[in-house]
Structure 1
Amino acid sequence: MQPSPVQNSKPLEGVRVLDFTRVLAGPYCTALMADLGADVIKVEALHGDDYRHIGPFDQGESLLFQAINRGKRSIALNLKSDEDIATIKSLLVDTDVLVENFRPGVMEKLGLGVEALSAAFPALVYVSVSGFGQTGTNAAKPAYDIIIQAMSGLMDVTGEPDGTPTMIGEAMGDVAGGLFAAWGTMVALFDRSRTGKGRHVDVALFDALTAMMPLLACRTLMGKDAPTRTGNRHSLSAPFGTYPAGDGHFAVAVLNDRLFETFCKVIEQPELARDPRFVTDPLRRENEPALAEQIALWAGQRSVAEIVASLSAAGIPASEIKSVAQAWASSQAVERGLASAVDHPLLGRLNVPEQPVHFSGAARGDRTAAPGLNANATEILAELAKGETK
């Protein structure tokens, strides 16, 4: 890993990543690194990443693949070929990070297991992303996001109280795994800068999603509670959720007594702040149905826009319920640069997501589109032949 200039450069410039991942969790991890300047070489099977064949499609190109594999270079190799394995090992000479998301044991069978590669390349950070990790009862089992949501408890606490367990509307098990894989990679690279040695980073989607539910964890591990579905209302606080208005629904978050007193004034019922049923947050949650009736008396006569304006003016967190399209098109998303344009040889100008963290001295944007299958093989092999892989 070569040092980069502090200003006007991306934080991961000079970092080489060899990416053996496919589908979502692993590619999401490496996309985050590509966004920040890492040279991510996506090593694909001859038929390509599975996501190349999953829609939505535009002119035969998977837009899902475009979103998750932006900024990378592609080379297609046969991992059962001795010649191609030799190519991989040559690339590893100048590689900082290897990321793979095969089932445990697959990389070992290919001669690319962590023990063998760590012995040959002691500075290599080797990242394994799998459904259940490299150890444990379920280590050998396959997993997709829906399975992780089901097994982690997230699905059980999502939905209406009298309804069925519900998937949330995004593949959060995969995303959580990708985030923690990227985080673990950065920690291992930081440690390597002090020790000169790489580490094996073992990431399980089950572990990652479970760890991203701290409210449920504290209630289960320490409070000995059994969390249940609460629909669109917070399980511990009130009023903290969505409520009906005259023309739709609005969201509001009241988390302390001072804010509740202000809220009561806004809804023109100041006496509620002194009602014995509502004087503390636990009591408000316990008596939330009665509180919701009082909120409905006020909100039912007003529009969502009027309600949100009144609450916001008083310093109370509130919002209308936005669609995904509205969220991405909002001035906040645009001003924060959550997506930026890339040029695709077939699809033209595309807006694709970008990692959300802002770094001083590093401009956002200036990225490339996801690569065509094997599109960069010639240049990668030429660099390898010249000893200029980084």
Structure 2
Amino acid sequence: MDADNEEPPFRGVTVLDVSQGFAGPSCAGMLALQGATVVKVEPPEGDWARHIGARYGDNTAFGLVPNQGKRSICIDAAKPEGRALLRRLALGADVLVQNFRAGVAERLGIGAEALRAEKPELIHVTITGFGTTGDWARRPATDTILQGYTGLMTLVGGAGNPPRRVDFSLIDVVAGVQAAQRVAAALYRRATGRGGARISLSLLEVAAALQAAPILDRALQQAMGDATGPAAPLGAPIGVFATADGHINLSCVGERMFAGIARALGVQTWLEDPGFATAQQRLERAAEINAETARCLPARSTAEWIAAFAREDVLCGPVQDHAALLADPQAAAIGLFASLDLPALGLTVPVPRLPGEAPPAAPRCVPGCGEHSTAILKEAGLTAAEIAALLDCGVVRQAAA
């Protein structure tokens, strides 16, 4: 968000987030970071994301990132009173986000058809693994399963190598972005008098859309009679190369940049050889070009090569780990990180802010499981006696102060 536009765009929008994991919570989290009031509903044991990976207090990084700025209520929806309460909260929201398997939301009384029949202006978001129809619709799905199912692992592994996973939940992250964009479009639709919306998207769709260019590349190869050849490289030289003290990313786009790389590397023959005159000719000799690049780069440090390539205005950058990024001066220059407050641990730690957002003035917080249960019920219009009854019978849990 532009620093000049201090009014959050989704202020006044209420979101009920009954999703777990990363994709659905990430969608609702992006809305929260843009001003929406987001109530996260968790089961008695908490969102399962709180138990994935290394634990820090009662949470994990996987659970912290998508739940910034939300409030949490803990409801046991296995009980009839819990399902009734869930439905009541859903009908009081502008947006509902859920990622249950097919049929579960309906059994809980918060399916799109039932809710929108009573509240047509509701925006109901469903995120599934494989969609809502077909033989795989009811199967469990995770980011990892979809990386393999859609061919992403073969891209990461590379031609002739074993398939390899992207070692974080890439598809879930993109699913959250896609879902949040659809919600924003639906809110615009509603604001212009065209009612609410039923939004349904799957990790399968998201993973395919993420890989649209390489999937199309393969389809064109098949259509033109070459169904077995490897995907063509995007340019030459291109890739990760070892230097004297680390690695560098190098990417060539066009004749001007190829000439700049040749000058920086001191490979005059590339400039004189007519066989390197066009991009297509260079692609045909990509292995040769990359091999020569790999031979030259270990002679100098990463910093020296970055400076040399920068003088030629070549696309390049160091290969850094996350510790280096946290300390990177360019990251500091653009205010890349916000602060996340973890009072239970006595820590305030950096976390990447929402792209395009002005650096927030105050640290962000992530709710404990059921931290705001009582307050949320009061705001929903329940009396003190009703709240006490729900707490006493275990339908609702309020976290200890």
TM-score (norm 2): 0.87
| Segment of structure 1 superposing worse, 47-56 or 34-43 | 47-56
Runs of at least 5 residues in structure 2 that lack an aligned partner in the other structure: 384-401
- State the number of aligned residues: 377
- Relative to structure 1, the CA distance from residue 37 to residue 227 in structure 2 (aligned partners, 3 Å threshold; closer, same or farther) is farther
- Equivalent residue runs for 1:157-172 within 5 Å: 157-172=155-170
Aligned-partner Cα distance in 2 for 1:278–1:74? 60
> Aligned to 2:101, which of 100, 103, 109?
103
Shift of 1:282: 2.4
> In the alignment, what sits opposite 1:299?
297
Aligned-partner Cα distance in 1 for 2:347–2:7? 24
- Relative to structure 1, the CA distance from residue 201 to residue 152 in structure 2 (aligned partners, 3 Å threshold; closer, same or farther) is same
Shift of 1:174: 1.3
> In the alignment, what sits opposite 1:253?
251
> Aligned to 1:147, which of 145, 153, 163?
145
What percent of counterpart residues are identical? 32
Partner SS state of residue 38, structure 2: strand
Aligned-partner Cα distance in 1 for 2:239–2:204? 27
Structure with higher helix content:
2
1:78-99, CA deviations, whole angstroms, 9 ceiling, x for partnerless residues?
2233333332333234311100
- Relative to structure 1, the CA distance from residue 194 to residue 238 in structure 2 (aligned partners, 3 Å threshold; closer, same or farther) is same
Aligned-partner Cα distance in 2 for 1:253–1:244? 14
> Aligned to 1:364, which of 360, 378, 382?
360
Letter in 2 for 1:384: A
- Equivalent residue runs for 1:178-217 within 5 Å: 178-217=176-215
Does the CA contact (< 8 Å) of 2:240 and 2:247 recur in 1?
yes
| Segment of structure 1 superposing worse, 294-303 or 36-45 | 294-303
> Aligned to 1:218, which of 212, 216, 240?
216
- Relative to structure 1, the CA distance from residue 91 to residue 365 in structure 2 (aligned partners, 3 Å threshold; closer, same or farther) is farther
TM-score (norm 1): 0.89
- Relative to structure 1, the CA distance from residue 370 to residue 205 in structure 2 (aligned partners, 3 Å threshold; closer, same or farther) is same
Letter in 2 for 1:315: D
Does the CA contact (< 8 Å) of 2:336 and 2:359 recur in 1?
no
Partner SS state of residue 68, structure 1: helix
Aligned-partner Cα distance in 1 for 2:230–2:64? 35
Does the CA contact (< 8 Å) of 1:29 and 1:179 recur in 2?
yes
Shift of 1:169: 2.1
Partner SS state of residue 162, structure 2: coil
Aligned-partner Cα distance in 2 for 1:128–1:42? 15
> Aligned to 1:26, which of 6, 24, 27?
24
1:333-379, CA deviations, whole angstroms, 9 ceiling, x for partnerless residues?
333333312333312343353443225xx663545411111110111
- Relative to structure 1, the CA distance from residue 355 to residue 130 in structure 2 (aligned partners, 3 Å threshold; closer, same or farther) is farther
1:335 aligns with 2:301: no
1:317 aligns with 2:315: yes
| Segment of structure 1 superposing worse, 293-302 or 105-114 | 293-302
Does the CA contact (< 8 Å) of 2:302 and 2:318 recur in 1?
yes
> In the alignment, what sits opposite 2:173?
175
Partner SS state of residue 250, structure 1: strand
Shift of 1:141: 1.3
Partner SS state of residue 69, structure 2: coil
> In the alignment, what sits opposite 1:3?
none
Aligned-partner Cα distance in 1 for 2:122–2:363? 26
Partner SS state of residue 75, structure 1: strand
1:379 aligns with 2:386: no
Shift of 1:121: 0.9
1:56 aligns with 2:46: no
Aligned-partner Cα distance in 2 for 1:306–1:239? 18
1:276 aligns with 2:274: yes
- Relative to structure 1, the CA distance from residue 53 to residue 294 in structure 2 (aligned partners, 3 Å threshold; closer, same or farther) is closer
Aligned-partner Cα distance in 2 for 1:78–1:60? 19
> In the alignment, what sits opposite 1:10?
8
* Runs of 4+ with deviation above 6 angstroms: 227-230
Shift of 1:242: 1.6
